[in-house]
Structure 1
């Protein structure tokens, strides 16, 4: 039986613009430093900034978008106990509004150790959305590499993270090919490479972003408030699948490297839903982590789902739920780059017109 859900988001580092969008243009005149100080030191409560309903159930709210009032930098640098208390307050609000499952969007997931900080909660289920994100990222990789010719080198940056480790194992289960696994911890990289090596998969590891310049396809899966991928990290004609929020690619790359294609990752079509509010996407689109939360609620899931590292069996389960609810959407969206539809890209179907984007991180 379907239940209600909530999904947590947070503002970007450009607070003035975000607060102006949320509360009205005069709020954008407040100095940036004042907003940062207020969010860090004042007891600003979590806010409902969006409501979702099904097209076939008009007027009935089935989900809510709840904003945690912290910037990306604050989420990753403030004392962890303070950050997790803020996130927990947002989960409390979701529960009190009737949600039985809460999804952790953007940096609320790594800030709570992939949700494991809330593992002891029995009052509401929590998921970090990473299982469906890994599954959708694999589908995007398959679509992009189909036109690359023989044996492209795929670099997975953030390979040992929750999404990256699941994605690597999903890829190795279905495909042969060459992988470059990139992350900070070499021991974890070696363990992951050993797990997937064989059956036609050649997995090399690196802790140096400079090695990414050898890759034909670069998949970004890191948790950072800043852009990490720079022009010198990219091979001529490379394709970048940026599956990070906040994104780890800067729009300046479009002018610095016109030979490179940058694709927004993790986007899912949800034509069966309406959103009142804005999550920085064109209409009828959702991030895969939000879609995972929605699917769990649609199936009546009880308890936690994906916490910490995502697992292959979780990805396969959420894909099964997506198939069962395909009349509402939940398939990979046509490719976009910095929010704009990519003409001529490998795509499933025409997409809705791109609307002006609002800068919430989800």
Structure 2
């Protein structure tokens, strides 16, 4: 199989299954399924497995390649002790594969405090990135694209849900620089005012998810159950951009939003020249890469050796955007279906 090559990968991207469907992408899952009497038994068996290389990432004829490494914990356990232990094991697997760069995907970043708890344990010569900086830059581009497509421009009011998170802080500052009116939504208003004190005077601060109803564009940066967005919370004509991992809004729920004249699109995706991943991440198409994975690629391609952990800064997001442009990496256009209302 291609992901068992002896040539060391330039990077390893670390993630975890979002649900049972993702477990079927893990090498050996078909054998486990054959010897399981139920899906529950299959799930339980799979979740006892150690971190596993599940795919290879290539870029056309580029000699640089990466590997996709799965920590077999679901979202409800990855943030706890077993999840952290498995992430520590995954770092050793990545090191044994010879990777120079380790990228943290989905909840592996929050589980390690944005990579901060990993830095003291990293093997010599390995660099870690959360991918938060380029994700913040892509989030800004997604919002600008949505505002232009709806004709609102920078007069749009943007709700940032998860504004104090590792992507949210940088994304909020970038959007403020663009001149958007912001509704900053976090679990703690006190923390919002502390983390984003420089832009709070120009924004509305909220600790209630219901305040997304004030916005023309809603940027979802958290999949926390307390922040789930439902159609009744959003005003007709609004656009919802889901960058959460796991997703805040499931694709099967999109029609119920459309019934209220609300468009929903998955954001936070990038195009990388020649990109191919042998693992199906159930993204809109197989040529789309997660922005955090794109940043991992850029670290390896550019030879960046300084860790990018914790909260990303807006300035570093701008730097990563320039690095991306230099290597032909760009945000994936949104699937907004702006003509949906006219068609009805």
What TM-score do the two structures reach when normalised by structure 2? 0.86
Per mean C-alpha deviation after superposition, the further-off stretch among 226-235 and 178-187 is: 226-235
Counterpart residue number, 2:156: 152
Q: Which residue in 1 is equivalent to 2:5?
A: none
Q: Deviations over 1:201-243 (max 9, x none)?
A: x301000111111211100001437981112211112100000
Structure 2: runs of 5+ lacking an equivalent: 1-7
The one of 268, 280, 291 aligned to 1:266:
268
Change (3 A) 1:66 1:224: same
Cα 1:61–1:93, aligned 2, differ >3 Å: closer, same or farther?
A: farther
> Are 2:16 and 1:10 aligned?
yes
2:291 is aligned to 288
Give the equivalent residue in structure 2 for 1:195.
Answer: 198
> Matches of 1:142 and 1:225 in 2, distance apart?
27
Shift, 1:299, TM fit = 0.8
Deviations 1:169-227 (A, max 9, x none): 11222x223100000111121234531156xxx30100011111121110000143798
**1:210 and 2:210 correspond:** yes
SS in structure 2 at match of 1:109: helix
Separation in 2, partners of 1:256, 1:161: 28
Counterpart-to-counterpart distance in 1, 2:286 and 2:223: 26
CA contact (8 A) 1:18 1:28 kept: no
Alignment check: 8 A CA contact 2:170 2:313 kept:
yes
Map residues 1-362 of structure 1 onto 2, 5 A cutoff: 4-13=10-19, 15=20, 17-22=21-26, 23=28, 27-28=32-33, 30=36, 31-38=38-45, 42=48, 44-57=49-62, 60=63, 62-76=65-79, 78-79=80-81, 82-120=82-120, 121-123=122-124, 124-146=126-148, 147-149=150-152, 151-173=155-177, 175-197=178-200, 202-224=202-224, 228-258=228-258, 259-281=261-283, 282-304=285-307, 306-326=308-328, 330-336=329-335, 342=337
The CA RMSD measured in Å over matched residues stands at 2.4
* 1:26, distance to aligned residue in structure 2 (A): 6.4
Change in CA separation of 1:286 and 1:62 when aligned onto 2, cut-off 3 Å: same
Quick one: distance in 2 between partners of 1:307 and 1:264?
24
Query: 1-side partners of 2:147 and 2:232: how far apart?
Result: 22
In structure 2, the CA distance between the partners of 1:26 and 1:84, relative to structure 1 (3 Å rule), is closer
Shift of 1:279: 2.7
Distance in structure 2 (CA, Å) of the matches to 1:177 and 1:9: 33
Measured after TM superposition, the shift of residue 95 of structure 1 is 1.4
Give secondary structure in 2 for the equivalent of 1:160.
coil
TM superposition shift of 1:21 = 4.2
CA distance in 2, matches of 1:226, 1:105: 21
Give, in whole Å, the separation in 2 of the partners of 1:225 and 1:213: 18
Deviation at 1:89, TM superposition (A): 1.0
CA contact (8 A) 2:95 2:123 kept: no
Q: Contact (CA 8 Å) 1:193, 1:204: kept in 2 or not?
A: no
Q: Matches of 2:9 and 2:277 in 1, distance apart? A: 17
- Structure number with the higher strand fraction is 1
Give, in whole Å, the separation in 1 of the partners of 2:78 and 2:263: 30
Normalised to the residue count of structure 1, the TM-score between the two structures is: 0.82
CA contact (8 A) 1:19 1:28 kept: no
Change (3 A) 1:336 1:25: farther
Deviation at 1:19, TM superposition (A): 3.2
8 Å CA contact 2:166–2:311 kept in 1: the answer is yes
The alignment partner of 1:180 has SS state of strand
| Post-superposition offset of 1:335 | 1.5
Say which SS state the counterpart of residue 103 (structure 2) adopts: strand
Aligned residues: 323
Q: CA deviation at 1:28?
A: 4.7
Q: Secondary structure at 1:45's aligned position in 2? A: coil
Aligned equivalents of 2:207, 2:218: Cα separation in 1: 15
Unaligned runs of 5+ in 1: 346-362
The residue number in structure 2 matching 1:348 is none
